[in-house]
Amino acid sequence: MKPRTKQMTIDEVVGRLESGMTIGIGGWGPRRKPMALVRAILRSDLTDLTIVSWGGADVGLLADAGKIKKLVYAFVSLDSIPLEPLFGLARQNRTIPEICEWDEGMFFTGLKAASERLPFLPMRAGLGSDVLRNNPDLKLVTSPYPAPDGELEELVAVPALRLDVALVHMNRADAHGNASYLGPDPYFDDLFAMAADQVFVSCEQVVDTAGLSVDTPVQRLLLNRMMVTGVVETPNGAHFTTCTPDYERDEKFQKHYARSAADPEAWAAFKQRFLSGDEDAYQAAVADWTKEQA
Amino acid sequence: MSTETKTETGTEISRAEVCAAAVADAFSDDGEIFGSPMGIMPMLGVRLAKLTSNPDLVISDGESLFLGGVPPLFAKGDVVEGWIPFRRVFDVVAYGKRHVMMGATQIDRHGNQNISAIGDFAQPRRQLLGSRGAPGNTVNNRTSYWVAKQSPRVFVEQVDVVSGVGPKLAREAGPAASRFNDIHRIVTNLGVFDVNGPDDTVRLLSVHPGVSLDEVRAASGFEIAGLGSGSDADVSTTRVPTAAELMLIREVLDPRKLREREVPSA
């Protein structure tokens, strides 16, 4: 007997989301982001989302579309273009009502706490910095155990980053929800999954379970089906972020995105051309644009 | 201002090359820890340190691999001696065997650093990267800063947002914050500084060859300890790289002269 099949469409995934939800987005900055799912959210009428992300264009796009009520992040960057233009505009125009800028390590710790069903975990990051001043909800906790010098240290009690939904993009998955990354870094996708009530995995290719480890070390299987609610095949679905080794970042397109985003007229044209249709239309428009550039 | 200097043998040495050696010197006494550079000049300096003063230094490709050799900047393919994906970086931060050299959009008199936002945090004039790992780095492991273009807009009286925590704020935040706070060096295009001035303030250690104290004063928005009203003769000069270091910088590590993008000559 095989475990149940969880394969679904992009629209079915978005149909499971609700306004007001807390959504964690996997990947890292401009790397292995579930962009096809993000684009589907842009097309939806979802609003008032709390977004938890190591931010890249996912955050810029969702902010621009007015989808974000609250943003939890430690950075937003496109790497080869350091500052994300749409996120910058959103901050400078104050269009995201609630901002939680944390330290990167705190973010990791918050996901760990949520994945372990703990209310918080202690750490040093944040002490002395404006992360505590700008996030007055963050509390300190006094260690019940003395340090070697007898001090009872006061540490940051990082609250669990509990998520309603996690969206991640992997290289391969089976229809049951086992999934592997083939690139250099797992990022934190398993922690996002374990911190969430529902987990949707988009992937480059759905394969048989046996195919997941036939030519790949088993250690690359990051997600187990216990963690996963739904699987959707979205080839090139991380575009324009990396999905190594299936493809690298589309630097030309990213540059086009950033330049367009910096100018209202160019941005309207970009949205019309690339973001006004469904995912197939997006991929076709990108293919056309790429041909024009050649 | 002159950005080139000559050795006794008459070789032209660029300001960028002086900076690379100064960055390398910041890592010379670190022993067997992770030298973690953010940006081109820190990466060049860390690799130079590994090839000269500190062969025990552990270096990475800036992505997810610990490298067994010391390849040129951004070269692919080298002996791999370990795996350091992002999540493990945070493990090493907390473990403490790491010296990070970060950039800084602003640094203030007390060695606090800002990479988060310029202006009021609630509605910044300019949103920057976000605090990234700076708050955690500065209370966990040795931290240095690289500033490619020192100016009164970078060396400010008080940073708009404290991302990296200087020694004074760390002390005020209690023993958990100050126990491992270790702001080691600030290297700029003009000189080398630490934070051991009176009341834990930024202090001048050396000016680069060809840089006057007036230039440093003009590029600083606060009074720097060790600078005072003294004359140029009272302050030490940053050493120039040796012939062997110049060969390593020019022929091995940075043949594409990426260093010149950070600190252009003339």
* CA of residue B168 relative to chain centroid, distance: 20
A185·B63 Cβ contact <8 A: yes
The whole-number pLDDT of residue B8 equals 56
Give the distance from residue B125's alpha carbon to the nearest chain A alpha carbon, in angstroms: 6
What is the pLDDT confidence band of residue B2, given thresholds at 50, 70 and 90? low
Which residue from A minimizes the CA distance to B96? A124
**B186, B219 contact by CB (below 8 A):** no
| Cβ-Cβ contacts under 8 Å for A263 (sequence gap 6 or more) | none
**A171, A201 contact by CB (below 8 A):** no
Regions of chain A with pLDDT less than 50: none
Give the distance from residue A15's alpha carbon to the nearest chain B alpha carbon, in angstroms: 32
pLDDT tens column, B63-72: 999 999 999 9
B93·A187 Cβ contact <8 A: no
Measured CA to CA, the distance from residue A238 to residue A265 in angstroms comes to 26
Cα distances (Å, whole numbers) of residue A256 to A42, A141, A235, B8: 19, 47, 21, 50
The whole-number pLDDT of residue B227 equals 86
| Residue given tokens 């939680």 in the structure block | A100
Q: What percent of chain A has pLDDT over 90?
A: 99
Q: Which of B9-18, B168-177, B201-210 has the lowest mean pLDDT?
A: B9-18
DSSP string, B130-175: --TTHHHHHHHSEEEEEESS--TTTEESS-SS--BPPHHHHHHT-H
The whole-number pLDDT of residue B230 equals 65
A83·B127 Cβ contact <8 A: yes
The whole-number pLDDT of residue B78 equals 85
Measured CA to CA, the distance from residue B118 to residue A225 in angstroms comes to 44
ipTM of the complex: 0.95
Kindly list the residues from chain B whose CB atom is less than 8 angstroms away from the CB atom of residue A108.
87, 90
Measured CA to CA, the distance from residue B163 to residue B104 in angstroms comes to 9
What is the pLDDT confidence band of residue B11, given thresholds at 50, 70 and 90? confident
- What DSSP designation does A210 have? G
pLDDT tens column, B89-101: 999 999 999 999 9
- Tell me the pTM: 0.96
B25-41 b/e (C-beta count within 10 Å ≥ 16 → b): bbbeebeebbbbbbebb
Kindly list the residues from chain B whose CB atom is less than 8 angstroms away from the CB atom of residue A151.
175
B131·A131 Cβ contact <8 A: yes
A185·B170 Cβ contact <8 A: no
Q: Choose among A86, A18, A52: nearest CA to A262.
A: A86
A103·B64 Cβ contact <8 A: no
| Cβ-Cβ contacts under 8 Å for B60 (sequence gap 6 or more) | B34, B36, B66, B67, B84
A128·B170 Cβ contact <8 A: yes
Give the closest of A91, A105, A186 to B136, CB-based.
A105
Q: Is the pLDDT of residue B3 over 80?
A: no
The whole-number pLDDT of residue B211 equals 96
CATH fit for domain B4-261, picks 3.40.1080.10, 3.40.50.1110, 3.50.50.60, 1.10.150.120:
3.40.1080.10
∠ Cα B14 B15 B17 (to 5°): 65
Kindly list the residues from chain B whose CB atom is less than 8 angstroms away from the CB atom of residue A74.
130-133
The whole-number pLDDT of residue B76 equals 81
User: Rounded mean pLDDT of B19-34?
Assistant: 98
| Residue given tokens 């992040």 in the structure block | A73
The whole-number pLDDT of residue B233 equals 64
pLDDT tens column, B207-227: 999 999 999 999 999 999 988
Q: Best mutation site among B95, B127, B132, B163 for testing chain A: the one with the most A CBs within 10 Å?
A: B127
What is the pLDDT confidence band of residue B229, given thresholds at 50, 70 and 90? low
User: Rounded mean pLDDT of B115-123?
Assistant: 98
Measured CA to CA, the distance from residue A260 to residue A48 in angstroms comes to 26
Which residue from A minimizes the CA distance to B172? A128
A187·B179 Cβ contact <8 A: no
